[in-house]
Amino acid sequence: MKRLFKVLVILSIAVSFISCGRKVTPEEAEEKIAQHMYERYGEEFEVGYAMIDGYTKGDRDVTWYEARVTPIRYIGTPKYTDSYYRAVGTVMVKKKMFREEFGITRDTYSNVMLKESANEFYGKKLKELFGENYLSVLEVTGSYSDKSKNFEGSVKLTKEKGDRLYISGGIYIFGRVENNEDREWYRKQIYEFIQFMKETGTFEYVDLDFNIADERIISKEFEEIHLKTELIQLYEEVLSNKIKGDIFIEKRKNILDKVGKNYIVDFSELEKWNKGEIINLKNKLGMAGTINLCKILSEKYIKANKHFYKEYELKFYNSINDVKIEG
């Protein structure tokens, strides 16, 4: 009985020491994440409130703190509330006998940097081919190069690691397609862009949409005479199957013709569009304004996703004839 009593006393003392041990606080976790972000990216980040999210799988001695991380320079800009740029920082917390201590710190902002570097890299060619009237909303899966901090270095790093570089999302071109001559011009420009991707070794796992939208939907006049609501309502009628085909085309034409001929377009406004909404198909204005779509699927992407075989033809894009624009 006395032996059992001594054991219980020792256990209670041990528990007391553990409970009184040094614990990591949420404030310290936020500071740790902020320090990690500055050291990795060389700029200050806003760190949201950090909370312990749970235990690591199979190990109840390791928990973590997680918080949203946002560059200070995003504050007050459209990027601040855009999910396309959203990222989190995570710091592991290891539980020792009498204390807690920080483990590895990670973040997903590198994914944002990878997308941004891709948009910048391809943007130079897109500007050459289409002018200022484009919006690049790419989704990229690969490894971001902290060393080079550019897309070329990230492509190289991804391949060195034996990983696949996936490129998807959409490129929105704002212009006019009024006849076959216009359509052929866009086909040629899109074909040239694909050849550029091939030359740079990035046309491997690609699922990319080229959306040719009417430039009048981003004109000053379009906003001033409140046509946005009309166009979105028309789009919703199509989605609910209330109207179809030629009726939709005629109604859309009537709405856009209200803009007139002497409209003014400020293409710099495109960067204010919410890219997260476009990716998630919530930007109905962009969707309703699309008049032509060209879907690009690389050979490797189709072979890696065999369900595409039934719906899409395997193409190598060695000829402009492989570029199809659907109206």
135, 172 contact by CB (below 8 A): yes
Q: 């040239």: which residue's tokens?
A: 192
Our measurement of the distance from residue 269's CA atom to the centroid of its chain's CA atoms, rounded to an integer in Å, reads: 19
Q: How confident is the model at residue 245 (pLDDT cuts 50, 70, 90)?
A: confident
Read off the pLDDT of each residue in 121-148 and give the average, rounded to a whole number. 96
Q: Of residues 57 and 115, which shows the higher confidence score?
A: 115
In this predicted model, what pLDDT tens digit does every residue of 18-56 receive, in sequence order? 444 578 898 999 999 999 999 999 999 999 988 777 766
Read off the pLDDT of each residue in 241-252 and give the average, rounded to a whole number. 85
Instruction: Supply 150's token pair.
Output: 């550019």
Separation in Å, CA 189 to CA 170, 172, 180, 206, 297: 15, 13, 14, 18, 17
Give the pLDDT of residue 89: 97
Q: How confident is the model at residue 270 (pLDDT cuts 50, 70, 90)?
A: confident
In this predicted model, what pLDDT tens digit does every residue of 69-99 receive, in sequence order? 999 999 999 999 999 999 999 999 988 877 8
- SS3 of residue 26 by DSSP: helix
Nearest to 324 by CA among 229, 214, 212: 212
Read off the pLDDT of each residue in 169-198 and give the average, rounded to a whole number. 94
- SS3 of residue 322 by DSSP: helix
Report the 10 Å Cβ neighbour count for 240: 8
149, 41 contact by CB (below 8 A): no
Read off the pLDDT of each residue in 294-314 and give the average, rounded to a whole number. 86
